[in-house]
Amino acid sequence: MSSPDLLEGCTSGTARHMATEVTICLVGRDDERALSAVAAALQEFGDVEAACTRFDPASPLMRANANPSGWCAVPRRCYEAVSEAHRAYQETGGRFDPRVLGDLVALGYRATLPFSGGPVVADGAVVRRRLALPPWRPQFRVRAGTFAVLLGGLPIELGGIGKGLAVRWAAGLLAAASGNHLIEAGGDCMASGRAPDGGPWHVGVEDPAGDLAPVAVLGLSDLAATTSSTRVRHWTAAGRPVHHIVDPRTGLPGGRGMRSVTVVGPDPAMAEVWSKTLFLAGRHAVATQAERHGIAACWVSDDGVVSFSTAIEPHVLWRRS
Amino acid sequence: MVSQRQVAAARDAAARSVARARARRRLVPPFAVGSAVLIGAGAAGAWVDAGVTPASTATSAVSAAPAPGSARGATAGTGVGAAASAAADLARARQELAQSVTAIAALGALRAPSGPAPVAGAPVGGAAPAAGAPMASVPPLAPLPSVQLPAPAVHTTTGASHVVP
């Protein structure tokens, strides 16, 4: 829960995209240029959603998914999103893999579910472990300003990186107007420059148990913070509790013993990727993975214990004792 | 001839010394001393030595008056007996003080088990309780409650993606 007083002096805008509310705050300007920058940044979320959503069968991504073994012309944003997803796949050694669309559909998450309306039960769901996927080798082509992708045989979903990409691109549009701005999109944040008081932006880390008080407060400047959490997107499938963070190795919800992972980093898209990757590492391996890759992260396990990696410590302003 | 007045004065002095020692024990609660830092044998011994006039000194003090030791007939005999009685009183007082110091040192050992075992002050006459003798247990202090400072105000929060219908 943010304090509105802290955002005095900002040019702000809010819009609804990607089934969430996106808020942008630009510091120090109150003119047409600032308003235009905020509007353009908000529109960026809409453009990314339109190009990359899996909930619209007519979206460019879903048209490509309809023929995953053939070439498909897509808009630039969709092309870039698939390309970034493949880069994330390579950087995480395959631990991030967007080829889980079929698994989500099998678990009952084939359309937007009413997560905000209480317990959700998905009809016709199948909870079954599958074999590991083969290596992902998509192909990309640019000819005369047109973009095309070949997905490599299996449909993909970009929920694990799409919002972070939108935040990245929106931040780029805002930077031309002001180096001091804050973007918050459904839990993904990008804190650029300085807050209105001249200090770092204060970003609270949500308690996945639902407590209003945060588990930690971070001081960020030119850094993104992204959280993967099962607090909202969970439902019952075939009588079993499941959530949306699917382990690409098994096709089943992963992250044993985890409630949430928050990653801090310079790029919001890779912060989102690593938040999911660390979540899937599970309670007993998350610390090792975070330290090995030098990830600034904090996480909450299912017993409520909050832990911090070494790299995030310089950014921790407060933590719950 | 020994002055009866001098003998009485010596006796009074010894009695006062004993009374002071007894009062000192009453006025110093064991737990308060137990929680203080006890330096061990040297300090304990020094405290015993400082607080109690040694028998030899007492004898000498008694003797400082016109010597009762000089035989003066019956009066002289009375003076010697009084001095010996005072010396015995002093010895008993010294022993009691030593025992108290030993007990207090043991109490300190109970509260600081990792430290060196306290060495009892040198007992004067009679046996003193061995160091580490069982003492009444001191209940552990309750831990101080931790104080959680409130979280600073935030500009925004990162967490689960809020679903907007």
Contacts of B160 in chain A (CB under 8 A): 187, 206, 208, 227, 229-233, 260
Chain A, chain B: beta-carbon pairs less than 8 Å apart = 116
Of the listed ranges A66-75, A176-185, B14-23, the one predicted with least confidence? B14-23
Q: Which of residues 90-129 of A touch B (CB under 8 A)?
A: 112, 114-117
Q: Is A245 on the interface with B (CB under 8 A)?
A: no
In angstroms, what separates the C-alpha of A70 from chain B's closest C-alpha?
33
Q: What local confidence, expressed as pLDDT, does residue B121 receive?
A: 43
B152 within domain boundaries:
no
B89 within domain boundaries:
yes
- Is residue B157 scored above 80 in pLDDT? yes
B148 within domain boundaries:
no
Write down the residue that tokens 């439902």 correspond to. A235
> A51-104: per-residue pLDDT in tens?
999 999 999 999 999 999 999 999 999 999 999 999 999 999 999 999 999 999
Q: What strands, in cross-sheet order, belong to the sheet with A234-237?
A: A121-122, A234-237, A240-243
B145 within domain boundaries:
no
Higher-confidence position of B110 and A50: A50
> A259-294: per-residue pLDDT in tens?
999 999 999 999 999 999 999 999 999 999 999 999
Those residues with Cβ within 8 angstroms of residue A287's Cβ, 6 or more apart along the chain or in another chain:
A307, A309
Contacts of B144 in chain A (CB under 8 A): none
Contacts of A214 in chain B (CB under 8 A): 151, 154, 157
B44 within domain boundaries:
yes
pLDDT confidence tier of residue A3, bands split at 50, 70 and 90? low
Cβ–Cβ under 8 Å, residues A301 and A259:
yes
B30 within domain boundaries:
yes
Of the listed ranges A199-208, A231-240, A270-279, B92-101, the one predicted with least confidence? B92-101
Cβ–Cβ under 8 Å, residues A37 and A60:
no
Its domain, for residue B94, covers 4-111
Of the listed ranges A1-10, A303-312, B65-74, the one predicted with least confidence? B65-74
Alpha helices by DSSP H, chain A: 32-52, 60-66, 76-91, 101-106, 162-175, 268-281, 286-292
B8 within domain boundaries:
yes
> A182-212: per-residue pLDDT in tens?
999 998 999 999 999 999 999 999 999 999 9
Q: Structural domain tally of chain B?
A: 1
B132 within domain boundaries:
no
Q: What strands, in cross-sheet order, belong to the sheet with A296-301?
A: A10-17, A20-27, A181-185, A188-192, A223-229, A258-265, A296-301, A306-308
